[in-house]
Amino acid sequence: MIRIKKINRWYILILLVLLLELAAYIFADTLGIELTTVITAVWFTTVIILLLLGNRLITRQFNRYFPWLQFGTRRFYAHLIVGIIYSLIVINLAYVFFKVLLTQDPPVFEQIVVMNAWGIVIFIPLFSIYFSLYFLNHWKRSELVAEKFRKETVQAELTSLKNHLDPHFLFNNLNILSSLIDRGKSESKAFLDKFSEVYRVILRSKDEDLITLEEELEFIQAYIYLIKTRFEENIKFEMKIDPADRFKVLPPLTLQMLIENAIKHNIVSEKNPLVITVASESDRSLLVRNTLYLKPDDLKDGGGSGLDNIRKRYAYFTDDQVKVSQDEDTFNVQIPLLELETV
């Protein structure tokens, strides 16, 4: 409805202008206006109106059959050439029409040349301005749409990455719970209560893009309880955290994934206890190191899906890289600690 009203206003304005020019032509002698001045004004106004309406129609047709996003540069040149050709045709036809209709003298070659020169000087720049403004406006809208789409895509990918954490975690801990059932009801119940607490934290973290290291460590302490329930003294944890780092931020469940990967790919036994160290580094990063005793299946292929997940999640927030290194005895992952910008 709003669009119809706008178009009607255009038509009303055009009609009023034409009526005023018709009145000026009829009463030119009474008003003391030279006829050539009236004819020139009528021609000029008519050309402007036809250029505006015609270019609106050309633009709509191009948008329909030759859209910007699909044809790009070709659309630009095609639209520009068609617009200029249309402008020259309108200028010439309008001049010939009014010259024949309102005067007794048909147009001569010299007049056509002069009229085209004036048309090129006046109307073609006007069309160029119109086309440039339309192009810039469309380009800005396209940029906004592309940026909105990019953000929505990034957010969807980030959500998908965070959702991938849950099934793996759930599967592993249900296996642990299954192994505890034979040990006794009270022990399995205590584990189940702790597991429920940890899982609530995981569900809540799906709504967070970044959390403080302090919050992550609180969660890890609960998670370590679940791990040690299964492996007892066959797994050891060492925490060496600088108090100044506790309020820096990182993607949620990053430490959980690194610990889970260490357990997944290494033998954990009384003979080969797994030692996992989490320590602050001087370059505003956190080092997660584990002793290395790979399972036979991981000697050739270490997997890496968990590390890829962490890298991708970090890539949304920083250009700092997740660094991975390995020697004969240890596997090391260095993750950046981020700082929230204050407004």
More confident residue, 89 or 99: 89
Distance between CA atoms of residues 136 and 184, nearest Å: 72
Distance between CA atoms of residues 68 and 139, nearest Å: 9
Q: Is residue 35 scored above 50 in pLDDT?
A: yes
pLDDT in tens, 12-32: 655 666 666 666 556 555 655
Domain spans of the chain? 2-154, 164-336
Instruction: Of 275, 160, 281, 274, give the one whose Cα is nearest residue 213.
Output: 281
Task: Return the CATH number of the domain spanning residue range 164-336.
Answer: 3.30.565.10
Q: Is residue 236 scored above 60 in pLDDT?
A: yes
More confident residue, 151 or 126: 126
Do residues 225 and 256 lie in contact, with contact meaning Cβ atoms separated by under 8 Å?
no
Which tokens hold the place of 222? 């609960």
Q: Is residue 162 scored above 60 in pLDDT?
A: no
Residue 196 sits at the vertex; the CA angle it makes with 306 and 236, to the nearest 5 degrees, is: 55
Max Cα distance, the chain (Å): 116
The arithmetic mean of pLDDT across residues 178-205, rounded, is: 74
Instruction: Of 131, 141, 138, give the one whose Cα is nearest residue 79.
Output: 131
User: In the predicted model, what is the mean pLDDT of the chain?
Assistant: 76
Handedness of CA 149, 154, 155, 161 (dihedral sign): positive
Do residues 234 and 185 lie in contact, with contact meaning Cβ atoms separated by under 8 Å?
no
Q: Is residue 79 scored above 60 in pLDDT?
A: yes
Confidence of residue 310 (pLDDT cuts 50, 70, 90): confident
Do residues 165 and 202 lie in contact, with contact meaning Cβ atoms separated by under 8 Å?
yes
Phi/psi for 334 (5° steps) reads -110, 115
State how far the alpha carbon of 56 is from the alpha carbons of 4, 5, 126, 169, in Å.
Answer: 15, 16, 14, 59
Q: At what angle do helices 2-26 and 35-65 cross, to 10 degrees?
A: 160
Confidence of residue 277 (pLDDT cuts 50, 70, 90): very high
Pairing of strands 235-240, 274-280: parallel
Among 41-50, 101-110, 153-162, the range scoring the smallest mean pLDDT is: 153-162
3-state secondary structure of 71: helix
> In this predicted structure, what is the pLDDT of residue 3?
44
The arithmetic mean of pLDDT across residues 303-311, rounded, is: 75
> In this predicted structure, what is the pLDDT of residue 226?
83
Distance between CA atoms of residues 157 and 313, nearest Å: 9
The arithmetic mean of pLDDT across residues 142-168, rounded, is: 59
Which tokens hold the place of 234? 């066959």
More confident residue, 239 or 133: 239
Do residues 25 and 42 lie in contact, with contact meaning Cβ atoms separated by under 8 Å?
yes
Among 43-57, 175-189, 313-327, the range scoring the smallest mean pLDDT is: 175-189
Do residues 290 and 330 lie in contact, with contact meaning Cβ atoms separated by under 8 Å?
yes
Beta bridge partner(s), residue 323: 334
Distance between CA atoms of residues 326 and 212, nearest Å: 27
For the ranges 74-78, 88-92, 212-216, the maximum mean pLDDT occurs at: 212-216
pTM of the model: 0.53
More confident residue, 26 or 76: 76
> In this predicted structure, what is the pLDDT of residue 110?
76
Confidence of residue 280 (pLDDT cuts 50, 70, 90): very high
Do residues 91 and 49 lie in contact, with contact meaning Cβ atoms separated by under 8 Å?
no
Q: At what angle do helices 165-181 and 254-265 cross, to 10 degrees?
A: 60
The arithmetic mean of pLDDT across residues 79-94, rounded, is: 82
Beta bridge partner(s), residue 266: 294
Confidence of residue 91 (pLDDT cuts 50, 70, 90): confident
Q: Is residue 208 scored above 70 in pLDDT?
A: yes
Distance between CA atoms of residues 291 and 275, nearest Å: 6
Q: Is residue 237 scored above 90 in pLDDT?
A: yes
